[in-house]
Structure 1
Amino acid sequence: MRRINVAIAGLGRVGSQFLDALLSVRSDNVRVIAVAEPKEDLQSVKLAKEKGIAYFRDARSMLESLEDSIDVLFELTGDAVVKSDLHEILVKTGNKKTVIVPEPVAYLIWSLITEGAKEYPR
């Protein structure tokens, strides 16, 4: 069985609820291995730490540290500079494994994992 290692950059309104939704999925195939959020006092950061998920204050350092052990990186920071920097890191390190998923695709996945039962946070 293939396991997908997921990381989330940004645990604000969207990212925190996305983390909750991913953690509620009952599957050994999907594992959240890391999160990045500069505001360490957020409840979503505390939850991630309680679940044994690696925590980083910066998405760039998360990607550089974990390199290609991340299969899917949900970029939910809303910061165009961070988004651009993440793509540059992939190129610089030659990481061809990690896929950076933008928010529109996260919305699609949200709809599938919540089966439309929860409204997407805005």
Structure 2
Amino acid sequence: MGKQNIALVGLGRIGSAFLREISGKQERLNLLFAAEPSNTPGKAQAIAAGIPMATLEEIAAAGNKVDIIFDLTGNPDVRKQLREQLAAHKNQHTVIAPESVARLIWSLISSEALPVIEGRITGY
């Protein structure tokens, strides 16, 4: 199996933890882009690692270069914007993995606990 080309959207507490954990998996994952509007430690970590920051539109416009977008924002409006951008760019290749899928993957790759944010709505 080849590498999965991914993008991370949201580099807050959950996105930062996810970024740290997958950073050691470059033989199977290729992190092409990250998106984070705020100045978070995760954004600084991504920039320091040379991961390009992108807008949601730029990620969607990348077409089949991005296999999976991990939406780690917990914000339904962001997920809606991602879907709209994928449709606007006729991108039928890229899939959006919500935080619940990231948590499943996390449970398979890490023995640490992923941060839990009270009141956060997860799902598709």
TM-score (norm 1): 0.86
Identity of aligned residues (%): 35
* Aligned match for 1:92, one of 88, 94, 112: 88
Residue segments in structure 1 that go unaligned for 5+ positions in a row: none
TM-score (norm 2): 0.84
Runs (4+) of structure 1 exceeding 6 A deviation are: none
RMSD of aligned alpha carbons:
1.5
Matched AA of 2:79: K
Residue segments in structure 2 that go unaligned for 5+ positions in a row: 117-124
Give the corresponding residue for 1:71: 67
1:15-72 residue CA offsets vs partner (Å, 9 max, x unmatched):
11000011022x4221111110011x3221121112111113x4x2332443331111
1:52-108 residue CA offsets vs partner (Å, 9 max, x unmatched):
11113x4x2332443331111000111111101111111221111111001111100
SS at match of 2:37: coil
* Number of residues of Structure 1 aligned to a counterpart in Structure 2: 116
Matched AA of 1:119: A
The structure that is helix-richer by fraction is 1
Matched AA of 1:46: A
Give the corresponding residue for 2:27: 28
